[in-house]
């Protein structure tokens, strides 16, 4: 079983270079043919057991076979690669003054005269040095006859060198199996210092010696040389390209660039403003291309997508960036399920991480089911411990419902089976803290013992309820019961948080399997409520956005404006391992309905959206679309802790740029040009 | 000879559909195989003369043959297409509720039950109507038995309909050869109005009935349905995708998204500013990713490109947009000629317009040669009438040099051979107007006659000079002599303008062949001067930008800071048919040199660029790059009069958005959030 596969190894970008991380027991079986089917480039093979496969026949060019086995734990690293013949045009060396890069030399290059360029990574005794670039590292041997004239002792590390030399096999015993180039070295013929670096660089790029993040952001161009960032940025480019190939070449979509200088969208996030030469008049930077893509539908660009730059001034939310990227999609004459299928195709065709192709279709559940089973609208389905609805039992004891209407009362249980019964004090405290934040419901934790029916919980539940619960949940001595009841929505939220906190605790105590960030637990959640009250003002707001169409079955309620909060919309989210990575909806295409929703339900001044209303009224097809947060999605693919790790030049979490120090003061002339003055806050 | 080829016809986006506009006399010759080599998809063929070609063997799928000949003037329209088998998955109909689009039905679909959706384009007598979408138009026939219940008279044009029906051959004599679907029609089974349009739309989409541009921009979503805009936007998406495929898949480039919220770049165009929550502190919107791409080189992303959004507040320049798109490229360990070759590869691989593939390499000439031969740094080489240097002759008469130093004196002639000698008054006036704008040189126009040596011009030139000119230029009776002399640079500029104005005049009088916008007159101009004085202040400024490297031969001059104005840089422009479509350079990679240029030559405060200087000093490879103005380039490809015609939602020429009315006033709360106040100009 392959556990991890990259399109390209961390340091290689030759189109045909792959690194497979595979568990032991690789055979000539189906994984390799699946890998083939999913990768249209040439690779050669590689392993004793699969020498007889048909793969070599598929290779167009002269190939070499090589296997690096690197047993570490129960994981075997398989280096699958097509070795590039020196006579062949290696794409990443095209248009450069090198013949090879620092990651590609192998025994097949022995005796060739080569030129490589890169960063001086390390040198020892003026006998050896290593040269590094974005593709790898190569060892250079300084022959005695050159040692007098070549003195690298005065050349600071990270200086840029150009090396001419001849490839030789390393002497027996000196091979480095951890380095792809580790079987060879280059005997120096000539070295030229192209650009000397400062004597001591402010940060180190080595993984084990990492500086604090802010310092790394300040010297981002140095940090970018690290294996991790090289891999993330190169992988990001590859994934987005695969998405484009699928959208354009396979599905006939048109990529359209829409403006970012626009006017304010009412009812959304805080938008940056841009003053203009017209006094008092401002552009706003778009928070998404939503209005433009709907107008494109009216404009007969019926299959639109864009890798779109979006802007939100959300200084306070963690791990956000003032500018970010989304895969933005819209199409006409479609429906919810078709959009879901399209997105599954996009992700499957660009799926890079697992040797196993992405399994589609994804599971699809309603918002109501998600809340009932997981207490959250973005369930992490990598583990069980689902909520069980025990409302019917709990409400037999009127003391427990405390007068709550049957309609809004709810009770949910999570049962952890033996041997999880012992809850440590830290867990109890955590759960208590969580439960205290939910005022309108109650949480109890109870270890099931032999004479549980005589325990204190029975005082609370009453004899009948406790007995029924014991039967219904088949509680056994050793089990742990987590029970919440009260206002239903709030109890769901509470138990959703309890479920996650409980599993975190089990995981930290090694009582359950670790959740893997590369698990394929994708899930569609649909039929969200259309409106929900703002927590502060109590006014109804759109759960998705104001352009979302209502569920067809709930049209009458919307027109009568009764039960507005139970109206479902045609919106849906895509959830991966408990993280929402995108959302979409079928839109309102009827101008009168859109106006009614804006005016009468949301009370948003429709003058701000007159152009969109006009577009709906001038011949607009039914349409719908989706947006994927690409920074977040790619960070998850790279198992990166923050979206900053997959963005070339991110701002820090407070919106500042440690590199350029932006934002900065501007001149008075510039303020005058834009008719603004800074208001002194002091 | 094929004169125009689109990847896809104006209305078709099936991957395999092509329309060739070809002059008559098409044979089985090489153009078709070249077309094949340049198009990796399947097409079928097509024409009697080439029936025997090998092409059908290359088709993977079931194909059909079809030829539409549409003789108009001496142009034959050849409809090359692969007909899609009904059992085949048509990509543009995937994920929709239609079975076909409005552009694809052919006789091969006869007897099929189909569903199409689109805009009601036209209806007649409740007997016929046409449905249109982005792919074409289809005629629907309403059978008598349905005429009673279907009444389209009340449905406004441009409403959205869904039509079920059966495809039939049109009755003999009723075929419409100008319509790709013109051999068939759909017999209506059922029609549903999906969205009714307003009774009268504010603008018409038909080419012959176009509204003024501002009104079309206000209702852009209607105008987008026009054939022209459909074609431009779909072609734009295709071209940019081909560029990406070449850069990423063929050349191993990495696409990196760089920030647009940055700090001011000193010495460039006016940049938009974005106030932040920190009082008095602003981001600037980047005018190009220049600094970021150079930092990427320091960061070992050694082959970068980006389809980059850039911002400039240039309200006064014609046909500019506040935001625009460039293909932005940078690579390490390269040189000027390699970057030129890379760009030629990018354009050739994405070249869509001519059936003839783009011929590379392009001609390469120095700036000095361009000025000498054409009097301009972006020569239109679609026509001759080159400048001839006659300085040596003119200066024989000291009266003509008027004391100008030999170093800076110049004289250039353009000779128009018989029968162009008769210059109409309008041309004379134009040339006079042009020449009056150049104070430091003189222009004369002279018709060569039998006794020219006795004409008034000899009074001016003197006998000896006139005789030498006559010999040198082999002036014959009937020729026209255009002569300028004076300060050399200004005379070059003058004669460059004269050359263009003169050809315009010849062209308007049908005396010369019309210049075609699709001619392949590409030209590299290199060795630009590094610095030039600002016209107002006289201070030296960078001709390209402050990061451009000097020509290696001129290094000493730069270090000595002598003759700064004659120092050449390693910058170069790409010119197409007289329009500059991009520029690039090898950059300075030496921190000390960059600092010297900023501080001592340009007098730009280097503190603003400290991060870039640091990046150069912390291990930065030699590097260079290029940028292509994509809006302009694609407008030229589409023969569109303005870049607005290839942008989905352009601003008008004064930076306003007629669609949304942006920029608009913002609220006082928002100003408060960003610590700004509008300064009243009254």
pLDDT tens for B109-144 read 999 999 999 999 999 888 999 999 999 999 999 999
**Chain A closest-CA separation from residue B23 CA (Å):** 30
Torsion of CA A37, A38, A41, A47, to 10 degrees: -70
What is the helix, strand, coil percentage profile of chain B, to 5?
30, 25, 45
Q: With 50 as the cut, is the pLDDT of residue A52 above it? A: no
Contacts of B400 (CB under 8 A, 6+ apart): B394, B411, B460, B461, B462, B465, B485
As separate numbers, helices (DSSP H) first and strands (DSSP E) second, chain A gives: 20, 28
- Taking the C-alpha atoms of residue B86 and residue B66, their distance in angstroms, rounded to an integer, is 16
Contact state of A259 with B657 under an 8 Å Cβ cutoff: yes
Q: What is the mean pLDDT of residues B101-113?
A: 96
| CA nearest neighbour of B615 among A221, A582, A13, A501 | A221
Q: Which residues from A are below 8 Å from B584, CB to CB?
A: none
Q: What is the mean pLDDT of residues A420-441?
A: 87
Contact state of A651 with B263 under an 8 Å Cβ cutoff: no
Contacts of A638 (CB under 8 A, 6+ apart): A231, A232, A235, A645, A646
Residue A95 lies in a domain: no
Burial B456-481 (b: 16+ CB within 10 A, else e): ebbebbbeebbebbbeebebeebbbb
CB pairs under 8 A between A and B: 409
Q: With 80 as the cut, is the pLDDT of residue B151 above it? A: yes
Same domain, A676 and A527: yes
Chain A residues 139-158 within an 8 A CB cutoff of chain B: 158
Radius of gyration from C-alpha coordinates of chain A: 30
Residue where one domain finishes, among candidates B514, B542, B559: B514
Which CATH number covers residue A494? 3.30.1360.30
> Quick check: A75 contacting B, CB < 8 Å?
no
- Taking the C-alpha atoms of residue A182 and residue A138, their distance in angstroms, rounded to an integer, is 8
Radius of gyration from C-alpha coordinates of chain B: 30
Q: With 90 as the cut, is the pLDDT of residue B87 above it? A: no
Which run of H or E residues covers position B610? helix B610-617
- Taking the C-alpha atoms of residue B152 and residue A470, their distance in angstroms, rounded to an integer, is 67
The CA-CA-CA angle for residues B627, B631, B632, to 5°, reads: 80
Per-residue pLDDT, A466: 94
Same domain, B569 and B650: yes
- Taking the C-alpha atoms of residue A79 and residue A70, their distance in angstroms, rounded to an integer, is 9
The answer to whether the CB of A119 falls within 8 A of the CB of B300 is yes
Which run of H or E residues covers position B303? strand B303-311
Least CB–CB distance from B621: residue in A160, A260, A270: A160
Q: With 50 as the cut, is the pLDDT of residue B170 above it? A: yes
**Can you read off the two tokens belonging to residue A447?**
């270890």
Per-residue pLDDT, A32: 42
Residue B371 lies in a domain: no
Same domain, B487 and B537: no
pLDDT confidence of B453, banded at 50, 70, 90? confident
Is the bond preceding B116 in cis, omega lying within 30 degrees of 0? no
DSSP 8-state symbol, B17 = B
pLDDT in tens, B493-544: 999 999 999 999 999 988 888 998 878 999 999 999 999 998 888 899 999 9
> Quick check: B369 contacting A, CB < 8 Å?
no
- Taking the C-alpha atoms of residue A307 and residue A258, their distance in angstroms, rounded to an integer, is 10
Same domain, B246 and B361: yes
Which CATH number covers residue B158? 2.40.50.140
Burial class (CB in 10 A: 0-12, 13-18, 19+), B277: middle
pLDDT in tens, B242-277: 999 999 999 999 999 999 999 998 877 899 999 999
Q: How far is CA A508 from CA A452, A511, B587, in A?
A: 28, 8, 52
Q: With 90 as the cut, is the pLDDT of residue B420 above it? A: no
pLDDT in tens, B37-75: 344 333 333 332 333 333 333 222 222 222 222 222 222
Contacts of A396 (CB under 8 A, 6+ apart): A462, A464, A465, A468
* CA–centroid distance for A560 within its chain: 41
Per-residue pLDDT, B353: 56
- Taking the C-alpha atoms of residue A60 and residue A44, their distance in angstroms, rounded to an integer, is 10
Q: Which segments within B149-183 are labelled E, that is strand?
A: 160-169
Residue B378 lies in a domain: no
Residue A80 lies in a domain: no
- Taking the C-alpha atoms of residue A627 and residue A336, their distance in angstroms, rounded to an integer, is 13
pLDDT confidence of A125, banded at 50, 70, 90? confident
The interface predicted TM-score of the complex, written ipTM, equals 0.87
Per-residue pLDDT, B266: 85
pLDDT confidence of B153, banded at 50, 70, 90? confident
Per-residue pLDDT, A590: 97
Count of other CB atoms within 10 angstroms of residue A104: 25
- Taking the C-alpha atoms of residue A666 and residue A329, their distance in angstroms, rounded to an integer, is 37
Per-residue pLDDT, B250: 94
The CA-CA-CA angle for residues A346, A348, A349, to 5°, reads: 65
Contact state of A250 with B13 under an 8 Å Cβ cutoff: no
Query: B419 φ, ψ to 5°?
Result: -105, 35
pLDDT in tens, A171-181: 999 999 999 99
Q: Name the residue with tokens 């006794």.
A: B451
Q: What is the mean pLDDT of residues A213-221?
A: 95
Least CB–CB distance from B160: residue in A255, A274, A621: A621
Per-residue pLDDT, B49: 32
Averaged confidence pLDDT in chain B: 85
Residue where one domain finishes, among candidates B488, B514, B540: B514
Which CATH number covers residue A593? 3.30.930.10
Q: Which residues from A are below 8 Å from B92, CB to CB?
A: 251-252, 303
Phi-psi region of B583 (alpha: psi -120 to 50; beta: other; left: phi over 0): beta
Closest chain B residue to A332, measured at CA: B96
Residue B35 lies in a domain: no
Percent with pLDDT over 90 in chain B = 70
**Can you read off the two tokens belonging to residue B323?**
């935001």
Q: Based on the structure, what is the number of domains in chain B?
A: 3
The answer to whether the CB of A2 falls within 8 A of the CB of A32 is no
Per-residue pLDDT, A585: 98
The most confident of the ranges A90-94, B98-102, B476-480 is: B98-102
Per-residue pLDDT, B359: 93
Contacts of A556 (CB under 8 A, 6+ apart): none
- Taking the C-alpha atoms of residue B228 and residue B646, their distance in angstroms, rounded to an integer, is 9
**Can you read off the two tokens belonging to residue A311?**
């802007």
pLDDT in tens, A288-308: 999 999 999 999 999 999 999
Per-residue pLDDT, A84: 29
Q: What is the mean pLDDT of residues A182-187?
A: 97
Q: What is the mean pLDDT of residues A348-356?
A: 78
Q: What is the mean pLDDT of residues B317-341?
A: 95
- Taking the C-alpha atoms of residue B493 and residue B443, their distance in angstroms, rounded to an integer, is 12
Burial class (CB in 10 A: 0-12, 13-18, 19+), B266: middle
Total count of residues recorded for chain B: 682
The CA-CA-CA angle for residues B261, B265, B270, to 5°, reads: 85
Q: With 80 as the cut, is the pLDDT of residue B299 above it? A: yes
**Chain A closest-CA separation from residue B229 CA (Å):** 10
Q: What is the mean pLDDT of residues B565-576?
A: 97
User: Which of A94, A244, A613, A677 should we substitute to test contact with B (largest number of B Cβ atoms within 10 Å)?
Assistant: A94
| Least confident among A162-166, A520-524, B250-254, B456-460 | B456-460
Which run of H or E residues covers position B373? helix B367-374
Contact state of B117 with A332 under an 8 Å Cβ cutoff: yes
Q: With 70 as the cut, is the pLDDT of residue A354 above it? A: no
Is the bond preceding B361 in cis, omega lying within 30 degrees of 0? yes
Which run of H or E residues covers position B254? strand B254-255
Which run of H or E residues covers position A33? helix A30-38
Residue where one domain finishes, among candidates A195, A214, A249: A195
Residue A129 lies in a domain: yes
> Quick check: A88 contacting B, CB < 8 Å?
no
Same domain, A352 and A413: no
Q: With 50 as the cut, is the pLDDT of residue A156 above it? A: yes
Give the range of the structural domain holding residue B454, as residue numbers without chain letter. Answer: 383-514
pLDDT in tens, A323-339: 999 999 999 999 999 99
Q: With 60 as the cut, is the pLDDT of residue A82 above it? A: no
| Least confident among A645-654, B7-16, B414-423 | B7-16
Closest chain B residue to A222, measured at CA: B299
Same domain, B450 and B596: no
Same domain, B505 and B531: no
Averaged confidence pLDDT in chain A: 85
Per-residue pLDDT, B174: 94
> Quick check: B512 contacting A, CB < 8 Å?
no
Contact state of B649 with A309 under an 8 Å Cβ cutoff: no
Contact state of A195 with B616 under an 8 Å Cβ cutoff: yes
Q: How far is CA A384 from CA A250, A367, A380, A497, A516, in A?
A: 37, 18, 9, 14, 15
Q: With 50 as the cut, is the pLDDT of residue A271 above it? A: yes
pLDDT in tens, B632-675: 999 999 889 999 999 999 999 889 999 999 999 999 999 999 99
Same domain, B181 and B236: no
Burial A253-262 (b: 16+ CB within 10 A, else e): bbbbbbbbbb
* CA–centroid distance for B178 within its chain: 29
Same domain, A389 and A509: yes
Report how far apart the first and last C-alpha atoms of chain A are (Å, whole number).
Answer: 64
Same domain, A508 and A535: no
Same domain, B546 and B665: yes
**Can you read off the two tokens belonging to residue A56?**
């070599």
Which run of H or E residues covers position B560? helix B555-560
Residue A61 lies in a domain: no
Residue B119 lies in a domain: yes
Per-residue pLDDT, A555: 93
- Taking the C-alpha atoms of residue B229 and residue B134, their distance in angstroms, rounded to an integer, is 10
Q: Give SS3 for A288.
A: coil
The answer to whether the CB of A528 falls within 8 A of the CB of A569 is yes
Percent with pLDDT over 70 in chain A = 85
| CA nearest neighbour of B237 among B6, B36, B577 | B6
- Taking the C-alpha atoms of residue A292 and residue A199, their distance in angstroms, rounded to an integer, is 52
Strand partners, A183: none
**Chain A closest-CA separation from residue B556 CA (Å):** 18
> Quick check: B41 contacting A, CB < 8 Å?
no
Rounded to two decimals, the pTM is 0.88
Same domain, A345 and A257: yes
- Taking the C-alpha atoms of residue A198 and residue B617, their distance in angstroms, rounded to an integer, is 6
């Amino acid at each position: 079983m392959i556990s991890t596969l990259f399109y390209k190894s961390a340091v290689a970008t030759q189109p045909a270079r792959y690194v497979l991380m595979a568990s032991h027991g690789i055979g000539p079986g189906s994984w390799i043919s699946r890998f083939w089917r999913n990768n249209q480039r040439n690779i050669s093979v590689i392993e004793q057991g699969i020498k007889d496969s048909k793969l070599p026949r598929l290779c167009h060019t002269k190939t070499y076979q090589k296997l690096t086995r690197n047993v570490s734990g129960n994981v075997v690293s398989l280096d699958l690669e097509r070795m590039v013949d020196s006579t062949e045009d290696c794409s990443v060396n095209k248009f450069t003054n090198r013949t090879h890069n620092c990651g590609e030399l192998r025994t097949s290059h022995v005796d060739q005269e080569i030129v490589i360029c890169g960063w001086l990574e390390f040198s020892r005794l003026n006998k050896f040095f290593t040269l590094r670039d974005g593709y790898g590292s190569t060892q250079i041997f300084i022959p005695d006859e050159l040692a007098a004239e070549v003195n690298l002792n005065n050349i600071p590390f990270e200086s840029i060198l150009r090396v001419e030399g001849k490839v030789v096999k390393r002497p027996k015993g000196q091979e480095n199996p951890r380095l792809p180039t580790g079987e060879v070295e280059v005997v120096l013929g000539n070295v030229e210092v192209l650009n000397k670096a400062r004597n001591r660089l402010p940060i180190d790029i080595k993984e084990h010696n990492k500086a604090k993040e802010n310092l790394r952001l300040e010297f981002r161009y140095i940090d970018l040389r690290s294996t991790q960032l090289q891999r993330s940025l190169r992988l990001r480019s590859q994934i987005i390209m695969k998405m484009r190939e699928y959208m354009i070449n396979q599905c006939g979509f048109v990529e359209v660039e829409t403006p970012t200088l626009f006017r304010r969208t009412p009812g959304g996030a805080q938008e940056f403003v841009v003053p203009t030469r017209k006094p008092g008049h401002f552009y706003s930077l778009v928070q998404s291309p939503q209005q433009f893509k709907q107008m494109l539908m009216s404009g007969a660009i019926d299959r639109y997508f864009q890798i779109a730059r979006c802007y939100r001034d959300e200084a306070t939310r963690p791990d956000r960036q003032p500018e970010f990227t989304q895969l933005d999609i819209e199409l006409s004459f479609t429906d919810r399920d078709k959009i879901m299928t399209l997105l599954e195709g996009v992700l499957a065709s660009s799926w890079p991480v697992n040797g196993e192709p992405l399994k589609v279709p994804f599971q699809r559940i309603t918002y109501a089911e998600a809340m009932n089973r997981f207490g959250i609208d973005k369930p992490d389905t990598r583990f069980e411990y689902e909520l069980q609805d025990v409302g019917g039992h709990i409400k037999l004891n009127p003391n427990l419902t405390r007068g709550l209407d049957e309609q809004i009362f709810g009770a949910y249980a999570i049962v952890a089976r033996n041997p999880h019964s012992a809850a440590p004090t830290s867990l109890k405290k955590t759960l208590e803290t969580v439960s205290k934040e939910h005022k309108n419901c109650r949480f109890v934790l109870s270890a099931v013992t032999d004479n549980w029916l005589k325990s204190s919980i029975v005082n609370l539940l009453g004899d009948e309820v406790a007995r029924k619960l014991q039967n219904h949940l088949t509680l056994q001595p050793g089990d742990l019961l987590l029970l919440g009841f009260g206002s239903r929505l709030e109890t769901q939220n509470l138990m959703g948080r309890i479920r996650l906190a409980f599993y975190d605790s089990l995981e930290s105590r090694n009582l359950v399997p670790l959740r893997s960030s590369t698990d394929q637990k994708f899930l569609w959640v649909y039929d969200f409520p259309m409106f929900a009250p703002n927590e502060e003002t109590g006014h109804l707001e759109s759960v998705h956005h104001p352009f979302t169409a209502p569920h067809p079955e709930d049209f009458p309620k919307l027109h009568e404006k009764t039960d507005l909060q139970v109206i479902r919309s045609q919106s849906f989210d895509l959830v991966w391992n408990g993280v929402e990575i995108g959302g979409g909806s079928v839109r309102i295409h009827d101008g009168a309905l859109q106006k009614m929703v804006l005016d009468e339900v949301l009370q948003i001044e429709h003058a701000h959206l007159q152009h969109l209303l006009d577009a709906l009224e001038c011949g607009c097809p039914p349409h719908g679309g989706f947006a994927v947060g690409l920074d977040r999605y790619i960070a998850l693919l790279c198992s990166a802790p923050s979206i900053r790790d997959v963005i070339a030049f991110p701002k820090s979490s407070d919106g500042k740029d440690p590199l350029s120090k932006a934002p900065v003061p501007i001149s008075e002339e510039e303020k005058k040009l834009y008719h603004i003055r800074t208001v002194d806050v002091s």
